[in-house]
Every structure is written in C-alpha cells, then in structure tokens.
Structure 1
Amino acid sequence: MAQYDPSYSHYWAMEPSFNPASVGKDNKLNVVGAYALDFAGYEHNPNTFYVGADMPLYFMKQYHGVGVSILNDKIGAFTHQRVAGQYAFRHSLWGGMVSAGVQLGMLFEKFDGSKLDAEDMSDPALANAELSGNSLDMGLGFYYLRKNWYVGASVQHLNSPRIELGEKNELQIDKTYYLTGGYNIKLRNPFLSIPTSVLARYDGRTYRADITARLVYTNDKKVLYGGVSYSPTNSVTAYIGGTFHGINVGYSYEMYTGTTAFGNGSHELFVSYQTDINLQKKGRNKHKSVRFL
C-alpha cells in the first residue's frame, strides 16, 4: 500500500525528477545530485540516490528543453532503478513560458530473497534467491513560468508498468499524479527574499503534500538560505544551504510527526551546479530562475 516514488525534501530544486516539462526552464545547464537516508537507525531503511541534468535548446526559432535522470532507490529487499530521458516543447505565452514535456525511460527491479526473515522460508510464495525484471516507463507533464511564480502538473508511470520478477511474482506500479507551484516573495531588503513552494502527489492509494518556505540571502554570487517544510500528518523538515565557489549545496533533516523518535528522521544532501547557456544573441531570452533565488 506504500507509495512507489521516493520523496525528496529538495523537490523545489529537482523538478525534472517528477515533471519532464520543467527541463530547460532556465537558460542554464543544470546538473543536480541528491542522496537521502530515510528512517535513520532502522534496519534495511530506505536510501535513495538521484542524479539528473537538463538544459535548454533553441532551434528552428523555437525553445526546447532536454534532460536525463538516473535513480537508484533501495528499501528492504527491493532495489528500484530508473534511467530516463526527457524532452519539453516550450513556447512564450502571456508574458511567461509554457511547456509540455514527455519522459521515456526504463525501470529495473531487483528483489533479494536472501534478505527475507520469514518464519517459514519453505513457503513457495516466498522467493529465496535474487529476482529481477524491467519495463518501459513513461511520463507526461505541463509547466508554466511567469516572472516570480510558476505552476506545474505531471503524471509519472503513465503506462502503469507491470514488472515480472521471476516466474511467480510481479510488481504493479500505479500512475502517480503531481501538482506543484511556487511564488518568490520580494522583501524591502534587496538582499532578502522568501521563495515559497508546494508539491502534492497522489497514486490512487496514498496522498502527500509538502509546503515549503525559505529565507534566502543573495549578494552578488553569494547565496545563503534556511527554511522549513511541513507535510500534514507526515513530517516537519528543516533546511540549510548556500552557494560555495559556484556549487549549490543543501542539507535537510525531516522529523516525522508520528511515533518515530526524533533521531530516526531522514537526512538528505543536495548538490547542484549551474552555468549559463547563450541560446540566442546577447540580451535575448533573459529571465531569472526561481529554483535558487
């Protein structure tokens, strides 16, 4: 009954991980990496590694975006892996940029039956060896960005992959729907701003929403931020990060609001690098990124 896709605390900086229409939204080459260790202190707890890259393109007098992503998610006896490519068609609209994106990738599933600790390992329903399988995976998304605000909607696992694990087992992956949005609040102090964002997702069984606000200090190329995020009935998350020598680094700690002890929360480390790309003649197509403001 649990969700299939992992949750990232730094979702606001990793939008291509759930919405292919967001690739190339900035005039920058954007490379991100994240590692999350969930439910620290528990045996066989989830740990997730993600790396992705996206960039804008301009040809035939039209804006486009492309991206690639790799995911490795381990939880218990399962290892979920995904390799995907993304494309977005972008177009100027109402003073902003609207885009529609598609994602095509492969899912690779592994199940290590030797990690099971069952009372009766002779049960034929339980695998006692390593099983593996793979399947095509598809995604679709829409995104609109205008000045200091944005909104997006997407669906992952559009084709509802069913992966066969050996001869007796299979894994059904349901569609997961995402809705995201954000607004960058400008303060009187020109060095300070408060980017706010929200992400909601639903897979037909479970629902999760994250509401985030960060206080960001920006002075030339120096960026520092701290913030909090709240997920109703799930957790409270604290953030800290900044830009050091052109590298964006962030750390978050998620504290669960249930019966889990304070020390058994989730740690996440986020790293990214951005560099400008000149799509057209100098002075054309300039806009700011709301990811790191």
Structure 2
Amino acid sequence: MYSKAIFLHPVRYKGVLKRLIFIIALACLAEASVKAQYDPSYSHYWAMEPSFNPASVGKDNKLNVVGAYSLDFAGYEHNPNTFYVGADMPLYFLRQYHGAGISILNDKLGVFTHQRVSAQYAFRHHLWGGMVSAGVQAGMLFEKFDGSKLDPEETNDPALSQSEVNGNRLDLGAGFYYTHRDWYVGASVQHLNSPLVELGETNELQVNRTYYLTGGYNIKLHNPFLTIPASVLARYDGTTFRTDLTARLVYTHEKKMLYGGVSYSPTNSVTAFAGGTFHGINIGYSYEMYTGSAAFKNGSHGLFVSYQTDINLQKRGRNKHKSVRFL
C-alpha cells in the first residue's frame, strides 16, 4: 500500500541497508541537498483522491470519511508505518457547488516523524455534461528528528543532532478535476511552495513539489452487477517518477459491494487487494509485493476503511452524476 523514498534513494525498493536509520539520517541532515520522493503512495488511491488532489473534495453527493494504515517492508527493523485520515463533503450555497475537506497524515520511519494537517476547498461547476472543479489546499508540515534514539556508535558525525529537533512550515497545494459519467481526469501539485523546514539550528529539510496526474474509466459488463473500474495515477517530484495502473472487478447489488483487483507499478511493485461493504462500512486490505530485492514476505500491508452517508442538498442543487470512487 505504501511506498516512498526517504531522502536517500530515488526508488526505495532496491534494498534495505543494515544500519537504515544512520544512512537516512546522514542523507537527510547533511548540508548537501539530496532530493528524493517525499509523499507516501496508497494502493487505494482511487478512493483517497483528496490525499493528493484538493479539487476532488465533495465530488460525491456524500459525506466521505476515510482512514488508511500501512506497514511497509514488513519484517525489517525500523520499517515505516503511516496513518492517514480524511473527510470531505459537497456544499451548495450562493447557487453554486463547492467541496470542503480536511486530512491528517502521520508518517514514521525510525527516528523520523513526518506529519501534515491540511484543509481543502474546491469550487465546482457543471461543464459539458460533467462537473469541473478547481481546488486549493493549505496546511502545516511538522517534522521531527529524534537523535537520542540513534546507536551511540553512529552519533560521532557532527551533522547529526543527538537530541530531538523539530520544525514546521506552511504547506500549499492546488489541483483541477473533471468527472463525466463513467470517466474522470485530474491534475494537481502538492508542496506548491516547496517548504524548507528548519530542524534545530544547523539542519534543514527541503520538500520538493510533487506533481500528480490521475484518470479512470468505469467499464460496464453484460452482467449488470459487475463492473471493472480501471484507473491510473502518475506522480513526479523532479527526481523520481512513479505510475500505478489499477483494475478492479466490482460486484454491486442493492447495498452490497465486493471487489478485488491488482495494481502494477513498473520497476516498483505489484499489489493485490480486496474489500467490500460490511454494515455500511467499506473495508479493504492490500499487500504490495516489491519487484526489487525485497523478499515476498517483506512486502507492505495496507488497511483501508471508509464510511459514506448521503447529504440531502436542496433539490435544485443535488448532484446528478454517479461516483466512480467505489463503482
């Protein structure tokens, strides 16, 4: 479910060194600038679009609450784990459609902790039989490096703090999104202002802009209960490029929904996932198998949970399109 490079390697899956914390610390805190992928990626990205595109908030006629947890590189010491929670909803006022959302991210890897709290807004408008939206995001990044947890043998480098250091910085994002019946397309940028976070008096962390392009199409089958939603997510941060190609087989009947599918990220991983609706709650599980040197058992486990409920916008303001988020 979750995969990202932390300040050292463009692609994280090429191996895990024995002294992972020390290597990452050197690469992150050295005065020389080292560029690498910063944002996490999610196997259920198609159900978590506000996590990377603020223009997608409120695209359904529902209040949507999402939670996700991942444990990356299972079996390795100091392996990363990530927690994400977000909520978004549509709004209608001043004879116009809008969307609003909030999200919280907590990402921990060894002595590093990355946190982000964000609020999102989208202006939405009917166009060419679909819905187009433009969104903005504003939040705060909170970074922490706990040097007290380093091995004493690894603390001789003067570039490394031997105590806990913290820093924070304003973080901005923007995006566009268009949905039309059974297909959608979106583009966005995270860390628009390229925040530079100071950690203590001598170290700093540069967070690079990350660009996203996503799209999807809902393939209808002869069986009215079955559909195949296909989607793609590509991102680029100026150094590394990642693409996820995903296909799901979805069964829907009345209020029941079950799905299974697979994602492929060239040179990175293959992910299998399954899920469904249980008592009104959407639950999904994924397992990401790296195509690099990591063993099969050392993949990434992901858990996804969401809840949706209808919002009764006034009749003239009710959305008419169907969501392809879970269809």
Shorter-chain-normalised TM-score: which range?
Answer: over 0.9
Match of 2:183 in 1: 149
Give me the whole-angstrom Cα distance separating, in 2, the residues matched to 1:91 and 1:173: 32
Moved over 3 A (4+): 117-120
Q: Which moved more, 1:281-290 or 1:5-14?
A: 281-290
- When residues 282 and 97 of structure 1 are mapped into structure 2, their CA distance, relative to the original with a 3 A threshold, is closer
Give me the whole-angstrom Cα distance separating, in 2, the residues matched to 1:25 and 1:79: 31
Letter in 1 for 2:298: N
Q: How far apart are 1:119 and its partner, in Å? A: 4.1
Correspondence for 1:255 among 268, 289, 311: 289
- When residues 284 and 120 of structure 1 are mapped into structure 2, their CA distance, relative to the original with a 3 A threshold, is closer
1:92 corresponds to 2:126: yes
Match of 1:38 in 2: 72
Match of 1:173 in 2: 207
- When residues 17 and 120 of structure 1 are mapped into structure 2, their CA distance, relative to the original with a 3 A threshold, is closer
1:102 corresponds to 2:102: no
Letter in 2 for 1:238: A
Runs (5+) with no aligned partner, structure 2: 1-34
Correspondence for 2:113 among 66, 79, 89: 79
Q: How far apart are 1:288 and its partner, in Å? A: 1.4
Give me the whole-angstrom Cα distance separating, in 2, the residues matched to 1:194 and 1:246: 21
Same amino acid, percent of matched pairs: 82
- When residues 177 and 283 of structure 1 are mapped into structure 2, their CA distance, relative to the original with a 3 A threshold, is closer
Alignment of structure 1 residues 43-54 onto 2, 5 Å: 43-54=77-88
Give me the whole-angstrom Cα distance separating, in 1, the residues matched to 2:157 and 2:243: 39
Q: Secondary structure at the match of 1:263?
A: helix
What is the TM-score when the length of structure 1 is the normalising length? Answer: 0.98
Match of 2:253 in 1: 219
Q: Which has the higher helix share?
A: 2
Match of 1:127 in 2: 161
Match of 2:306 in 1: 272
Match of 1:11 in 2: 45
Give me the whole-angstrom Cα distance separating, in 2, the residues matched to 1:155 and 1:147: 25
Correspondence for 2:55 among 21, 31, 44: 21
Match of 2:7 in 1: none
CA contact (8 A) 2:104 2:115 kept: yes
Q: Which moved more, 1:125-134 or 1:96-105?
A: 125-134
Give me the whole-angstrom Cα distance separating, in 2, the residues matched to 1:15 and 1:74: 22
What is the TM-score when the length of structure 2 is the normalising length? Answer: 0.88
Give me the whole-angstrom Cα distance separating, in 1, the residues matched to 2:106 and 2:155: 28
Match of 2:264 in 1: 230
Q: Which has the higher strand share?
A: 1
- When residues 113 and 284 of structure 1 are mapped into structure 2, their CA distance, relative to the original with a 3 A threshold, is closer
1:292 corresponds to 2:309: no
Runs (5+) with no aligned partner, structure 1: none
CA contact (8 A) 2:180 2:321 kept: no
Correspondence for 2:232 among 184, 198, 211: 198
Give me the whole-angstrom Cα distance separating, in 2, the residues matched to 1:4 and 1:185: 33
Q: How far apart are 1:114 and its partner, in Å? A: 2.0
Q: Secondary structure at the match of 1:289?
A: coil
Give me the whole-angstrom Cα distance separating, in 1, the residues matched to 2:260 and 2:141: 35
Letter in 2 for 1:17: S
Number of aligned residue pairs: give it.
Answer: 293
Give me the whole-angstrom Cα distance separating, in 2, the residues matched to 1:286 and 1:96: 9
CA contact (8 A) 2:233 2:245 kept: yes
Q: How far apart are 1:108 and its partner, in Å? A: 0.4
Match of 2:6 in 1: none
Q: Secondary structure at the match of 2:247?
A: strand
Q: How far apart are 1:77 and its partner, in Å? A: 1.4
Give me the whole-angstrom Cα distance separating, in 2, the residues matched to 1:233 and 1:127: 35
Deviations 1:186-243 (A, max 9, x none): 0000000000100000000111000000000001001000000000000000010000
1:185 corresponds to 2:228: no
1:241 corresponds to 2:264: no
Q: Secondary structure at the match of 1:114?
A: helix
Deviations 1:251-287 (A, max 9, x none): 0000000110000000000000000111121794322
Q: Secondary structure at the match of 2:315?
A: coil
